[in-house]
Amino acid sequence: MVWSRMKDISDKSHIRSRWCITLRITPLLKPSSEPHDRGNMAFTFAAFCYMLALLLTAALIFFAIWHIIAFDELKTDYKNPIDQCNTLNPLVLPEYLIHFFFCVMFFCAAEWLTLCLNLPLFAYHVWRYMSRPVMSSPGLYDPTTIMNADILAYCQKEGWCKLAFYLLSFFYYLYGMIYVLVSS
């Protein structure tokens, strides 16, 4: 009796563990499930986008922190503006490209809401880069003007705003990812 009972339980646990495994795997490998009406590919792709965006946003958060620290150093005289610009400028385009990249991903994944949330920032990036000072190398920051109090304050503010935005979007992507997974 007891034995059979035990077996019962173990059976059940077995089932549960199996279920667990399936849950883990589904998003990536198991397109099937209920919502057959949506394209299977798109649905998994969206989740994939969210995951990717999650990782990349983490990277962007580091960029933003780096940016803030750099300007703080400038403001407190720790660094020479030429050096500082030389370290900051190479990071500008990668940041913009990363952001552009997952905007495109979201577009492909037809995640319109997420895309809309990101478009303003994307537009800002485009505008920002278009209006950069005359420079022969990529980048935004010109050592001769960067010490101007207005520009310095603007850049700092920009850094904080971006940090906030990336942090929020990080959690949003996390939510979005889970949501997509769950709703699938």
Partner 1 sequence: MTRLKWPGPSQNLQQLPALSYGMAPHQNYSPLQAKAPLGPGLYPQNSPYHPPSSLPHTPPLSASPVPQMPSAQSTPPPVAGGGYYNSPLQTPAMGPAWHYNTSAPVTPPHAHAATNHMAPPRSMAPSTSSPAPGPGLPPSSAHGYSQTGVAPHTYHQPVRPPYGAPPSAAAASGPRPAMGPPPPIGQPPPMGQPPPMGQPPPMGQPPPMGQPPPMGQPPPMGQPPPMGQPPPMGQPPPMGQPPPMGQPPPMRHPPPMVHPPPTGHSPSGAPPPMRPTPPPSGPPMGNATPPTPKADGIMSGNGPQAPNSYNHVESQPGAPPPPGPPGRHLGHYPSLPPGYQSSPSGHTTQPYPLKQQPYQQPGPAQLSPSLAALSLQSGTPEALRVVNLLQERNLLPAGPITPPTPCLPQDLQRVNCNPEVFRATLTSIPQNQSLLNKAKLPLGLLLHPFKDLSQLPVVTSSTIVRCRSCRTYINPFVSFLDQRRWKCNLCYRVNEVPEEFMYNPVSRAYGEPHKRPEVQNATIEFIAPSEYMLRPPQPAVYLFVLDVSHNALETGYLHVFCQSLLDNLSSLPGDSRTKVGFITFDSTIHFYNLQEGLSQPQMLIVSDIEDIFLPTPDSLLVNLSESKELVQDLLKSLPTMFEKSMETQSALGSALQAAFKLLSPTGGRMSVFQTQLPNLGAGALQSREDPNQRAAAKDVQHLSPATDFYKKLALDCSGQQVAVDLFLLSAQYCDLASLGCISRYSAGSVYYYPSYHQQHSPAQVERFQKDLKRYLTRKIGFEAVMRIRCTKGLSIHTFHGNFFVRSTDLLSLPNVNPDAGFAVQMSIDENLDDLQVVSFQAALLYTSSKGERRIRVHTLCLPVVNSLADIFAGADVQAITGLLACMAVDRSVTASLSDARDALTNAAVDSLSCYRQSVLTIQQPGLLSPCCLRLFPLYVLALHKQKAFRVGTSTRLDDRVFAMCQLKYQPLVYAMLMIHPALYRLDDLTDQGALNVNDRTIPQPPVLQLSVEKFSRDGAFLMDAGTVMYLWIGRNCSPAFLSQVLGVTSYAAVPENMYLLPEPETVRSNAARPLRREPDEDSLSAEHDRGQDRLRPLPLSLKLRPLLSVKLRPFPLSLKPRPLLSVKLRPLFLSVKLRPLFLSVKLRPLFLSMKLRPLLLSMKLRPLFLSMKLRPSCF
Query: Would you state the structure tokens that stand for residue 136, as one six-digit string?
Result: 């022969």
In the complex with partner 1, the residue whose CB is nearer, 59 or 147, is 147
- Nearest Cα neighbor of 51 from 105, 120, 129, 115 is 105
In the complex with partner 1, the residue whose CB is nearer, 151 or 167, is 151
Mask 18-57, x = binds partner 1 (CB under 8 A)?
Answer: ----------------------------------------
81 binds partner 1 (CB under 8 A): yes
Q: Vertex 136, ends 149 and 147: CA angle to 5°? A: 10
What is the spatial distance between Cα 177 and Cα 99, in angstroms, rounded to a whole number?
A: 17
When binding is defined by CB under 8 A, the residue of 25, 29, 126, 147 that contacts partner 1 is 147
Q: What is the dihedral of CA 119, 123, 128, 130, to 10 degrees?
A: 140
Amino acid residing at 6:
M
69 binds partner 1 (CB under 8 A): no
| Stretch in the footprint of partner 1 (CB under 8 A) among 50-58, 79-87, 97-105, 171-179 | 79-87
When binding is defined by CB under 8 A, the residue of 31, 75, 93, 156 that contacts partner 1 is 75
In the complex with partner 1, the residue whose CB is nearer, 45 or 73, is 73
CB 111 within 8 A of CB 176: yes
